[in-house]
Structure 1
Amino acid sequence: MEKTEGRVLAGIPPDALSLKLSRSTIKMRHTSTWRVEKSNEVHDLVVCISGSALYELDGEPASLSPGEAMLIPAGARFVGRLGTGPIYSGFAQHFTLDLFSHVDLISQMELKRTVKFSRWRVLEPLVRYYRETAPVSSTTLEQYHMFMVILIEFIEEAFIRWREQALLNAAGPDALSLHIMLAAARIAGQPFKPGILEEALGRLPYNADYFRRAFKERLGYTPAKFVEFKRLEQAMNILATGHSVKETAAMTGYPDVYYFSRQFKRYIGTSPSAYRLLTRAKEGGQFIDGTFHIPERT
């Protein structure tokens, strides 16, 4: 399977993912005496804030420096020790991430062992806040939401491809869930690609009508309507950059601007002209306390 263009998880609705933090956050602050050798029953995301560390993960060397993160898969044996600097700090978080409640999403992906966050300047304050506010012996709703942001950022940076073997090993509802997820990911990554619907649904080991019903049951849209929804999501981004409704309709493959407007309102909930006006108002500081303020003429 080739790597999906665009955001890897863009086709997966939020309620399809179930995140569990299996223990409180480990606030790492290690000195020269630190050394660890163990394995965990769940996945572990390690993020470095300062200093550095040297690891061996299933016998393969790895290192972490500020702004870098490493995923230790469930069951992997790892060894860690201090790198350069007097103190190595960051956090480690044990977690599971399930798709449709019963498929381990992480095991379905081939991921880079470590990544350097390309948006570390933006992400670092959140990482520091996540570490500093973590309870000693519990988890909070706030922690769940913050960690999901950090984890998704890691996945998007580390993703190589979906594992073909995962589909071969899965059976019953697990296999169906994976096929739905992959079809949605392909569509979301390239919604304007000619023939994307046929490509995403091609060679499926299911009756076409059965798969469409299952797809709609899990995602709320048929595959065809999901394509249109993702195109209109892109239209939102184009409108937000200042393009007119007519220009946006043409750029998203709608030759009839009136049909585009009807579909946009149907899927997004407001007209494209109103959405464009609201976006410009927010950027211009006219949207205050949830109210749209039109400045007085002088």
Structure 2
Amino acid sequence: MSSTYLPPELGESVHEVFYPDVQTTVNLFAIHLRSVGTDWDYPAHEHPKYELNYVTEGVQYMTINGTLYVQHAGELLLIPPGSVHSSQSRNGQGFTYFCMHFDIDDQLFLSLLARIKQVLFSADSPVTRQIEPVLHKLMSSAHDQSASAMVQRMQLQSAVFELFGHLWETVSQEAAQTFNDGYERIELAHMIRTRLQGLMSQQFKQGHEPDSHYGIDDIAAELGISPSHCNRVFKQVFGQSPRAVLSQMVLHEAKVLLGNPQLSVQNIAVMLGYKDIAHFSRQFKRWSGMSPSRYRQEQPALE
């Protein structure tokens, strides 16, 4: 049973630093390394996940949304969700490629990926150069016969998160050109989000009610910007206002606490800073579409 972070009583801490929360879920699908022959012709299809496709030998002819991409060895394709694509070998030559499909619930990461309109990355592009070593690590792990299935699974997950870290750095630089202020605007939005997480923790510790103690003005002052600029930059990058994201953080904490049967809904409302259970129940239902009690009852079915 999961449980949330319980902060110390006020006055106990001499010094503390809040690090960004890690609540990311990554789903990986159909990871494979495949060599194909001269008559390879995979029909047009689509899927709701990102596809990362890397050619190690030969040439792949990939048609994506009606556009033909000629992908040589060492080049990378990043295919967005919902893109209709097909693959072929031509000129009497086969090829070898590594492919993985992924979905990640990090909204900042997805917002950056969505801004990248480039699909094919050359072998000497910053994106390809940065993640190529991790791709080779992923491919080599498949040939490690000495490792157990669990060890291979953990190694795979470790390599994938390393890949996402490198991809984050390079894609951030690529996406910077879509903003007038460049990469600094993306970083500013990320700093605002980190402070929102700290604000959520402070509300949880001090018993402030989320709606009555928003704190965006304080965040803007700390960063030396106006509240309107703070809201505008954050929404440009995340597609949501800081208030909406803060509400999502409160909802997440509420769901985690509701997963603990030893806590009553009344206690959870108090822990989250609500003055009464009725207000908490109204807010929870507005955010999730059901009451806290019903969510708790249906939680096993939802998982």
Q: TM-score, normalised by structure 2?
A: 0.46
Q: TM-score, normalised by structure 1?
A: 0.46
Instruction: Tell which has more relative contact order, 1 or 2 (C-alpha 8 A, sep 6+).
Output: 1
Q: Which has the higher helix share?
A: 2
